[in-house]
A and B are shown apart, each in its own frame.
Chain A
Amino acid sequence: MKFVEIKNLSVTYLGNFKPSLVVDSLEIEEGEAVLIVGKSGSGKSTLVNAINGVIPNLIKAEEKGDVFVFGYDVKNTPISKLSRLVGTLLQDPESQVFNYKVIDEVAFGLENFMYPPEEIRKRVFEALKVTGITHLADREVYKLSGGELQRTVLASILALEPKALILDEPTSNIDPVGTKQVFDLLRTFREAKKSLIIVEHKVDRVLPYVDRVILVNNGRIELDIHKDEIIDYSDKLFFEGIEIPEHFLYLKKIGAREFKPELLKGYVHIPPKRYDGSEEVLYANVKVTTKNGETLVDTELRLKRGHVVALMGKNGAGKSTLLKAIVGILDRKLQSKVKIIAYGEDISKKNITERGKYIAYLPQNFDLVFVHRKVKDEIEYTMKNHKVYSKERLNHFIKIFSLERYLEEDPLVLSMGQRRRVAMASVLASGAKIVLMDEPTSGQDWYHRDMLGKELMNLRDMGYSVLVVTHDSRFVDKYCDMVYVMNEGKIVKIGKPEEVFLSEGIEDLGVYPPTEYEVMRYNNH
């Protein structure tokens, strides 16, 4: 039996004139695993939502054509019936859970289907075992890491014993350790011969677990290939903004048609030029403890002018806490001792509003920055508050972040990339030349991360200093001059990206180098 059969499908969202997705024909066999790639907004999620019944059952859209899942006509099948056949895991783990304890979250679906309590208990513990989180059964969900949360939702889905799984960017919002845990489960699913659809940006990491790769672009399936053909199409995928490792392109260049380690003997990854920066502009000595005396951060940090530095490490290593301590927005339950010197001036005793003049900070949820209904007002707001407003200055930031076309728009209705640029312009408008960014690459496709990297290079060239918390090693390799690795509240490793990525035991610190470095290590050995 076929897992998916689509014929002449067209999906048009309400209020749109053009369809967001058009698929002439697509078939996925039972037991087959398919990787779907494409830029944000290309139609990937529309495709999977048309398969799992979210469209048209939950998201109203005009749907033409036929979609059959295990022989059921999706249009005429209740989503509850489809959910027994197809489980769906979404991108953001936090927004998918609402129960208090892990065990309650895993039991949620089974309770909905009115299984008897004994059966629920049996299936819950089986699912917890498969996902490796039995020890977390009684933990509060809000205390879990991203990876643990994703595995909790996955356990909840698996407890329903679906024949197929749809994983829609399951690792976009979680750290490398959590990502590895989720990817390790893919092997288990393959062994269990589950049908799989995975929407993912990390092509090289998922490739071993799939049979086919589908590229969705501008609402169309542009490519549908066997995974062994990926080298052949690597340049096309790269051109379409897909995160393709450099050594795939190398193999294509030398005429290789498939991935074989021996063909990579001649491959050498040449890192981009790293900048040394000039004088020190930020010195921070930070100690943060809980009321119980537990030390969360106890470290020193230095930043030079014209330097882009990545702060990496496991979840809970203290990265975000360090940033918050520097800008003075720590949770009031935490105790801190900080010495902050910015541009030679001791700002340790200054409050948040005053520190904002020296240091700009962009949180992960950058939408929360917006408190005005026009882009122009948003940027002016910071300038006027800090009493540095001038027309020239406003135009300067508008130009840097290419916002000319959106000045009268509401920032909250712009696309993700545009919103991030407005948020950056808004925080930098204070005149601060030191920028701290908390996980700006999280949940974004390569196209947007690449765009962010270019913006940071532009800022560096203008003398800004940037400290960016990220798990994205490929982004770090391409755009950062230096890496600080944090572990248990301390910066334990400092070096250029290539030095850090090639150092022994770096994975133990929660840093997973880009696969190009794995190839280099393989070649060196």
Chain B
Amino acid sequence: MVSWILFFYGSVIPVIIVLALIGIKGFVEITRYESGTTFFYKLNPITKVVLGIVVMAVASVTTWWIGAILTAAMLLVYLTLNDGFRKFMYAFYLFLSTFLGGTWSIAPYTPYSVLQLAGFKQFNVIWVWPSYFTAFGYEPYLTVQQLIYGAQVAFRITAVVVTSLLLVLTTTASDIFRMFTKLKVPIAITFAITVAFTTVPKVFDLIDTSVKMQFLRGFGYGKTAILRPFYLLVAAILAIPPTIIYLARNARNLAISVDTRGFRAYNSRTSLVELTYSKYDYIMWGIIVMLIVLAILANIFGFGRTIPYTGL
């Protein structure tokens, strides 16, 4: 019983946490651009994409606490955004959920041989899994060291998630379109990415409506409030098919609308607004170069990839 609770804890609890704390509507807010005037809004989208790539690279090739510092630093940047505290809190909840989910999706699968390679000398068993759990790929025992290792690797993921979300929150779809065009990315791919950017908040909005309709139709009727987040999760899953079909119907309209406005008339596009580099970009490029130097130094001084990669 406890094993099953632990099993579901890892896969369900992170989602429940986020759903309970920010609700489905919170996802709409954290995936939609809102205009602002501070530092990050003024950056060229290319700079932000490069920052995301560099953060990912640095977090991947350095020791875990550099990933943790990067995560913390990028989280703090949210405070500088328009309505920053709210966005910071949302991003923090998302970090928490990613961290828990990341840790749990790594820890029980990590073989002891890998832990030894990662420098752990002894193992403290905190739980013994039923033998049939090996069918899921679980190791026979859950150890403290597995959890520590899982948490360390999770910081590599959180740094990337938090940075990527910053790009979404501070860049318009139009600017992303222009950026990709400038980078000579094929126009069809550019369009698909841009539409995905604009569709994500819409998806959550539609799921929210569908979920509310299920509750109104009695889903979870008579059940205690503690179970509500679980019902919310199930309702959100049930809401996916009608949401997808609704979006698919609208996608046809969008396709007609853009094609009858000359989309793909040429292999490239011009731009009303020329994306330029400002002093803010140069500052950020300076930070990016420092991050790269940091990664090199960390590796030279023994703070490189101390943790081996086990299929990640």
Interface residues of A (CB under 8 A from B): 49, 52-54, 57-58, 78-84, 86-88, 90-92, 94-101, 103-104, 107-117, 120-121, 124, 140, 142, 153, 156-157, 160, 327, 329, 331-333, 351-357, 360-361, 363, 365, 367-371, 381-382, 384-387, 412, 426-427, 429-430
Name the residue among A49, A53, A121, A354 with the largest chain B CB count within 10 angstroms.
Answer: A354
Q: Which of B241, B242, B246 has the most CB of A within 10 A?
A: B242
- CB within 8 Å for A111 and B215 given contacts A90-B253, A95-B254, A353-B221: no
Interface SS of chain A:
helix
Q: Given A98-B194, A100-B33, A157-B261, do A112 and B269 touch, yes or no (CB 8 Å)?
A: yes
Cα–Cα, bound, A111→B271 (Å): 6
Known: A83-B262, A96-B253, A112-B263. 19 other contacts (CB 8 A): A54-B259, A80-B259, A83-B260, A84-B262, A87-B261, A88-B257, A97-B257, A108-B261, A111-B269, A113-B266, A120-B271, A140-B35, A329-B216, A353-B215, A356-B216, A356-B217, A360-B216, A369-B242, A386-B217
Question: Digit string of B223-252 for contact with A (CB within 8 Å is 1, else 0)?
Answer: 000000000000100110111011000100
Evaluate whether A387 and B270 lie within 8 angstroms (CB atoms) in the complex, with A363-B209, A370-B242, A430-B217 already known: no
User: How far apart are the CA atoms of A54 and B257 in the complex, in Å?
Assistant: 10
Minimal Cβ-Cβ distance residue in B for A384: B218
Structural contact, A108 and B258, CB atoms closer than 8 A: yes
| A117 and B271 alpha carbons, distance in the complex (Å) | 6
Question: What is the CB-to-nearest-CB distance from A317 to chain B, in angstroms, rounded to a whole number?
Answer: 21
Residues of A within 8 A of B25 (CB): 331-333
How far is A417 from B261 in the complex, measured between Cα atoms in Å? 32
Per the bound structure, the CA–CA distance linking A79 and B263 in Å amounts to: 9
Pairwise interchain contact B268-A114, C-beta atoms closer than 8 A: yes
> Could you tell me if A368 and B210 are in contact, using CB atoms closer than 8 angstroms?
yes
Is the Cβ of B253 less than 8 Å from the Cβ of A368? no
Question: In the complex, A160→B265 CA distance in Å?
Answer: 13
Given the interface pairs A90-B257, A99-B173, A363-B213, the reply to whether A111 lies near B242 with Cβ below 8 Å is no
Instruction: Give the distance in Å from the alpha carbon of A153 to the alpha carbon of B268 in the complex.
Output: 22
Q: What are 17 A-B residue pairs whose CB atoms fall within 8 Å in the complex?
A: A54-B256, A58-B259, A96-B254, A96-B257, A98-B195, A100-B173, A104-B273, A114-B265, A120-B270, A120-B272, A329-B216, A332-B25, A351-B215, A353-B218, A371-B241, A385-B218, A412-B242
Q: Is there contact, CB below 8 Å, between A57 and B259?
A: yes
Chain A residues with Cβ below 8 Å from B218 are 353, 356-357, 382, 384-387, 430
* B222 adjacent to chain A (CB < 8 Å): yes
- Complex-state Cα separation, A124 to B271, whole angstroms: 12
Q: Is the CB of B256 within 8 A of A58?
A: yes
- Given A100-B174, A333-B25, A371-B239, verify A356-B215 contact (CB < 8 Å): yes
Whole-angstrom distance between the alpha carbons of A91 and B242 in the complex?
21
Inter-subunit contact A371/B238 (CB<8 Å): yes
- Tell me how far the C-beta of A112 lies from the nearest C-beta in chain B, rounded to whole angstroms: 4
Q: Does B111 contact A (CB under 8 A)?
A: no
What residues of A have a CB within 8 angstroms of the CB of B35 in the complex? 140
What 8 A-B pairs have minimum CB-CB distances, sorted nearest first? A385-B218, A80-B265, A109-B261, A100-B172, A112-B262, A104-B174, A96-B257, A95-B250
Other-chain contact of A58, B210, B241, B255 (Cβ < 8 Å) = B255
Task: Give the residue name and chain of the B residue nearest to A45 (CB).
Answer: B256
Q: How far is the CA of A515 from the CA of B227 in the complex (A)?
A: 54
Residue in contact with A368 in the complex, picked from B33, B195, B206, B263, CB distance below 8 Å: B206
A86 to B261, CA, bound (A): 9
The residue of chain B having its C-beta at the shortest distance from the C-beta of A327 within the complex is B216
Contact A113 B262 (CB under 8 A): yes
Check A371 against B242 for contact (C-beta < 8 Å). yes
Per the 8 Å Cβ criterion, residues 151-172 of B in contact with A are 172
Contacts of B269 in A (CB 8 A): 111-112, 114
Count of chain B residues with a beta carbon within 8 Å of a chain A beta carbon: 56
Query: A11 to nearest B CB, angstroms?
Result: 15
Distance (whole angstroms) from the CB of B217 to the closest CB of chain A: 4
Overall SS of chain B's interface: helix
CB distance from B211 to the nearest CB of A (A): 9
Nearest residue, chain B, Cβ from A140: B35
CB distance from B190 to the nearest CB of A (A): 12
Interchain CB contact under 8 A, A329 and B239: no
A196 to chain B, nearest CB (A): 15
Q: What are the residues of chain A within 8 A of B273 when measuring CB–CB?
A: 104, 117
CA of A120 to CA of B174 in the docked complex: distance in angstroms?
A: 15
Given A95-B257, A160-B262, residue A114 in contact with residue B270 (CB < 8 A): yes
Give, as a whole number of angstroms, the nearest-CB distance from A433 to chain B: 15
Q: Given A78, A160, A361, A385, which contacts B261 in the complex, CB threshold below 8 Å?
A: A160
How far apart are A195's CB and chain B's nearest CB, in angstroms? 15
* Residues of chain B contacted by A83 (CB below 8 angstroms): 259-262, 265
Question: Which residue of A332, A333, A382 is within 8 Å of B217 (Cβ)?
Answer: A382
In the assembly, what is the distance between CA of A429 and CA of B242, in Å? 20
Q: Chain A residues near B241: list those with CB within 8 A.
A: 370-371, 412
Question: In the complex the two chains form, is B262's CB within 8 Å of A353's CB?
Answer: no
Interface assignment of B184: CB less than 8 Å from any CB of chain A: no
**Chain B, residue nearest A94 (CB):** B250
In the assembled complex, how far is the CB of residue B206 from the closest CB belonging to chain A, in whole angstroms? Answer: 6
In the docked arrangement, what's the CA distance between A36 and B278, Å?
52
B140 contacts partner chain A, Cβ-Cβ < 8 Å: no
**A9 vs B12: C-alpha distance when bound (angstroms):** 56
Taking CB atoms, residues of chain B closer than 8 Å to A332 are: 23, 25
Per-residue interface assignment for chain B, residues 265 to 304, with 1 indicating a CB less than 8 Å from any chain A CB and 0 otherwise: 1101111111000000000000000000000000000000
Q: Contact check, A116 vs B270: say whether CB atoms are below 8 A apart.
A: yes
CB of B194 within 8 A of CB of A368, answer no
CB nearest neighbor in B for A333 = B25
Q: Is B219 positioned at the interface, with any CB of A under 8 Å from its CB?
A: yes
Which residues in A have their C-beta under 8 angstroms from that of B214? Answer: 371
Closest to A123 in B: B272
**Shortest Cβ distance from A52 into B: residue:** B260
Chain B residues within 8 Å of A153, by CB: 257
Q: Which residues of B contact A78 (CB under 8 A)?
A: 265
| Alpha-carbon distance A52/B177, docked complex (angstroms) | 26
**With A96-B254, A352-B216 as contacts: A368 and B270 at CB distance below 8 Å:** no
Q: How far is the CA of A360 from the CA of B213 in the complex (A)?
A: 10
A93 to chain B, nearest CB (A): 10
For A117, the chain B residues whose CB sits under 8 A away are 270-274
- A109 engages B274 (CB within 8 Å): no
| Contact, CB under 8 Å: B222 / A387 | yes
Which residues of A have CB within 8 Å of B210? Answer: 368-369, 371
Contacts of B259 in A (CB 8 A): 54, 57-58, 79-80, 83
Taking the complex as formed, is B220 at the interface, i.e. its CB lies under 8 A from any CB of chain A?
yes
Question: A355 contacts B216, CB within 8 Å?
Answer: yes
Q: Which chain A positions have C-beta within 8 A of B195?
A: 98
Known A58-B259, A111-B269, A112-B262: A354·B221 in contact at CB below 8 Å: yes
A101 touches B174 (CB 8 A): yes
Is B264 in contact with A115, judged by CB distance below 8 angstroms?
no
A412 to B222, CA, bound (A): 29
Q: How far apart are the CA atoms of A355 and B81 in the complex, in Å? A: 38
Chain B nearest Cβ from A353, distance in angstroms: 4
Give the distance in Å from the alpha carbon of A387 to the alpha carbon of B238 in the complex: 20
Task: Using CB atoms, name the residue of chain A closest to B209.
Answer: A368
In the complex, are the beta carbons of A112 and B217 less than 8 A apart? no
A384 to B217, CA, bound (A): 10
Q: Nearest-CB distance from A331 to chain B (Å)?
A: 6
